[in-house]
Amino acid sequence: MKDEKKAPKLRFKGFTDDWEQCKLGDVCEEVSGNNGNVKGLPILTISAANGWMNQKDRFSQVIAGNELKKYTLLEKGHLAYNHGNSKLAKYGTVFVQNLYDQALVPRVYHSFKMKVENNPYYVEYYFAAKKLDRELARLVTSGARMDGLLNINKKDFFKIKFEVPTPVEQSLISTILQKLDQTITLHEEKKRQLEHLKSALLQKMFADKSEYPAIRFEGFSAEWEQRKLGDVCEPITDSIDTQKYPNEVFAEYSMPAFDASMKPDIVLGSSMNSVRKIITRPCLLVNKLNVRKKRIWYVKKPNKNAVCSAEFIPLHSDTVDLTFLNQVAKSETFTRYLENHSSGSSNSQKRITPRSLMLSKLHIPTIEEQKLIGKIFEYLDHTITLHDQKLSFLKRLKQTLLQKMFI
């Protein structure tokens, strides 16, 4: 250990000791050699986004073949550094092997284990904080190799300098970040399950060519009626030249606003250079450009002075439930129709015309059944959004802790 001492910006109450600078090799030791011809063990690989993964899951097959001698036996709690360059991790990633008691990993990884009392997850999160990127960049002897690996040799890797607290503080830091990761994973799984449920219901709760859906609410048995969109909706045509009101404040529903947050931008009339449609009542905004992206925006309660850009076709209806129509407009059947009837010079610039949109056909049940279907999908969308917002918060929190809990 060296005499140089420091402390992080954020730490647990009761800890005041300065952190000491040391080399990675002072707190860990290399795990090397072949696997001793052990057969039947899982073969793993590191993904910068997902950590340890089975080769079969990542590559749809086991790519090791008969070359198992080129793999290292890594026990649970041991670590490996994948010095591969990627968009998420320019200087590689370190992960603790926590999936199996024993597994085989590529020998090209720098595998290692912690010495007594030191916490392996502390090292994993230290690398995740990217505090060592400058040190790693200094060690790269040249650019990425043809196989994408950075030329960082093992000898130099274990000479990397970083800051280390007591084993107790290491464990506390690791525990809180592990709990945070577990919570993130839980919300990701819940969101994924809800999205799968919604996808399945979209396939089953809307009528097909038989005019009947596969799943429906109790008490409903009537055949769904096929109608043109223009029979049940009308496009909003009232418009305004906002340039004539340069100092007036408007709520603009635009594609950039949809992509950013699905909230209208609050802007001055002078900032909009073309005529806008006036939105004064509930409506469904259907994007004309690049319809595959499904920029369908249900405006339930328009803001004051609401307008929408010319890239949307605003639809209003007194005969169909817009919550129901919102889901129909996001369906694959509806999207394929829009794609097939879009025109333009290239795929990314193709547009659907209002006339073609209004000629599209859809199956419609009674208004009572529409409202029930719309309500269940509105609840699913709301719950998915809540999980998404929670995930965004948790990931921001993790990044903040990674920056402030390490030196």
**What is the spatial distance between Cα 94 and Cα 88, in angstroms, rounded to a whole number?**
13
Cα–Cα distance for residue pair 277/237, rounded to 1 Å: 7
CB 369 within 8 A of CB 217: yes
CATH of domain 18-164: 3.90.220.20
pLDDT one-digit tens code per residue, 204-222: 999 877 788 999 999 999 9
d(C-alpha 356, C-alpha 269), whole Å: 31
Indicate left, alpha or beta for 375 from its phi (over 0: left) and psi (-120 to 50: alpha). Answer: alpha
User: Where do the structural domains in the chain lie, given as residue ranges?
Assistant: 18-164, 168-219+365-407, 225-364
Q: What is the number of other CB atoms lying within 10 angstroms of the CB of residue 269?
A: 20
Give yes or no for a contact between 19 and 407, defined as CB atoms under 8 angstroms apart.
yes
The model's pLDDT over 5-17, given as tens digits with 9 standing for 90+, comes to 578 999 999 999 8
Residue type, 274: S
Contact 282, 250 (CB under 8 A): no
CATH topology classification for 168-219+365-407: Helix Hairpins (1.10.287)
| Interatomic CA distance for residues 391 and 407, integer angstroms | 26
pLDDT at position 186: 95
pLDDT (tens digit, 9 = 90+) per residue, 107-156? 989 999 998 889 999 999 999 999 999 989 888 865 545 455 788 889 99
Maximum CA extent, the chain = 82
- Exposure class string for 289-302: b at 16+ Cβ within 10 A, else e: bbbeeebbbbbeeb
Helix, strand, or coil here: 102? strand
78-115 confidence digits (pLDDT tens): 999 998 888 888 999 999 999 999 999 999 899 999 98
Q: What fold is seen in the domain 225-364? A: Adenine-n6-DNA-methyltransferase TaqI; Chain A, domain 2 (3.90.220)
Identical fold between 168-219+365-407 and 225-364 = no
